[in-house]
Amino acid sequence: MSTPHAVARARQHSLGDIPRRSARRNGPKTAIVNGDTRLSFTELDAVVDRTAAAIDAAGLVKGDRLALLSHNCWQFAVLSFATARRGVVLVPVNFMLNPEEIAYVLDHSGAVAFVAEDGLTDTAEKAIAASAGAVTRRLFIPLDTGAPQPGWTDVTTWLEHDGPLPDDVLVADDDPVRLMYTSGTESRPKGAILTGRALLWQYASCAIDGEMTGDDIEVHALPLYHCAQLDCFLNVDVYTGATSIILPAPQPAAILSAIAEHGATKLFAPPTVWIALLRSPEFDTTDLSTLRKGYYGASPMPVEILHELRGRLPQVRFWNFYGQTEMAPLATILRPDEQLPRAGSAGRPAINVETIVVDDNDEPVPPGTVGEIVHRSPHATLGYYRDEEKTAEAFRNGWFHSGDLGILDEDGYLRVVDRKKDMIKTGGENVASREVEEALYQHPGIAEVAVFGIDHPHWIEAVTAVVVPKEPGLDPDEVVSFSKSVLAGFKAPKYVVVADALPKNPSGKILKRELRQRYGHLGQG
């Protein structure tokens, strides 16, 4: 080994190094619980080692891409570290995508290996058939969710691999280790390249500003294919030496039961899931006394819901994490003592982030002025894979452009006004959908609400609200009247629809695109 290589290896601090270092510190302590499976930190590092060796034996080399299609499971966590240990780029895939959408991810990423849970191998096989055919290795995770397709090998053969450990791979700070496809607003998702440097700095920001420690016991229920659950919470817990309880899905009854069974101290969920927990019939009969830290993201917590959480979980301190995939994903944090005084705010930049708001010429705007939110941080993506034009546009003038509109106040607190696309332009006026949603959450009969614009021949866009009632019988006309009592007339919804539920993706984000398509006809008369 040359001296420069030896120095670089000695200084390496990559995603794949985390389990080994945590094992040396925490050894027999429980790292992961998933159903009947319990792994200590020593056992987690050992299975990561075996899997990394199997990846090498399978012929995958540094820079190859491995796609992963699965609900939450302990094997997902192992693969996230084992691929990074060999410098193989993990491509987590949204399990809600159809085969054609998955085929696009396979082709765009150039994935040569595909790991899918047993019940999703049919979808995966169709995706491979619809792709250009670069995938040469197929492995399934045995979760008993369905019979795997023929030709798929059990990934347990990797997890239990008994071959020799290969030589270490030097994974530099800015070598890609993850390719995350944004769920965004584009006709085609973009592949955000995340490096070990981006992830490790982001983990430090989460741990410091989120007050995360090795004493935590956390329930992980949101999808691990999304970097919020994976990189703000699960991998940070392995980094700090905390215990992780992995659930397959964010089912309210299961979350509440897991908190009580394991004495969980910590939970992340988007506002939609926190609302579902509050409405669960098991909420008031479950022992949640151990819970101490609550985190939310994806959208601001409605103020009325925040008050309810504080009243019903008085021992829990809350944080709002704001960011996006391209920031690995944390950008700003609203801390516990700021929740009520700064309700609705996204907080201030995390410790390793610089955030400002700029105009269309990328000039900083005065406090209180709406502009685009931009960041500088080692958290930031290396760029968009195979898309130099979008990378250049996103990083123009040396800042990462978020695509979100926001306002910074005199004290540096950020309020996210809307995505640029979600600003409703009605009758010559701009209306922020989030402002209307906050107003409607004050209505005593509304459990959930989504506000968006639909095409209209007179108003250009008409403010439209879909509301989920707490009890049957909510009158749409009464909701319109209520909105006019708390909002300027042009901001009040022109149309209100009462629905049983709002469409959401597995991360808990409300699918406004689907709502626009479903109710777009209302504006045509």
CA distance readout (Å), 15 to 89, 194, 231: 11, 11, 11
For position 492, which CATH number holds? 3.30.300.30
Count the alpha carbons within 13 Å of 438 in the hemisphere toward its beta carbon.
19
Can you say how many angstroms the Cα of residue 184 is from the centroid of all Cα atoms in its chain?
12
Q: Is residue 452 part of a domain?
A: yes
Q: Is residue 510 part of a domain?
A: yes
Judge contact between 524 and 516, C-beta under 8 A. no
Q: Is residue 337 part of a domain?
A: no
Separation of first and last alpha carbons in the chain = 74
- Domain count across the chain: 1
pLDDT of residue 523: 84
Residue 59, token pair as written in the block: 């012929």
Q: Is residue 488 part of a domain?
A: yes
Q: Is residue 128 part of a domain?
A: no
Beta-bridge mates of residue 218: 244, 266
Judge contact between 195 and 179, C-beta under 8 A. no
Which residue ranges in the chain fall short of pLDDT 70?
Answer: 183-187, 419-421, 428, 507, 525
Cβ-in-10-Å burial (0-12, 13-18, 19+) of 46 comes to: middle
Residue ranges with strand state E in 119-175: 137-141, 153-154
pLDDT of residue 525: 65
Q: For the stretch 118-157, what's the b/e string if a residue is b when 16 or more beta carbons lie within 10 angstroms of its beta carbon?
A: bbbbebbbbbbebbeeebebbbbbebebeebbeebeebee
Q: Is residue 273 part of a domain?
A: no
pLDDT of residue 183: 62
Residue 461, token pair as written in the block: 């866009």
Q: Is residue 500 part of a domain?
A: yes
Q: Is residue 505 part of a domain?
A: yes
Domain around 480: 427-524
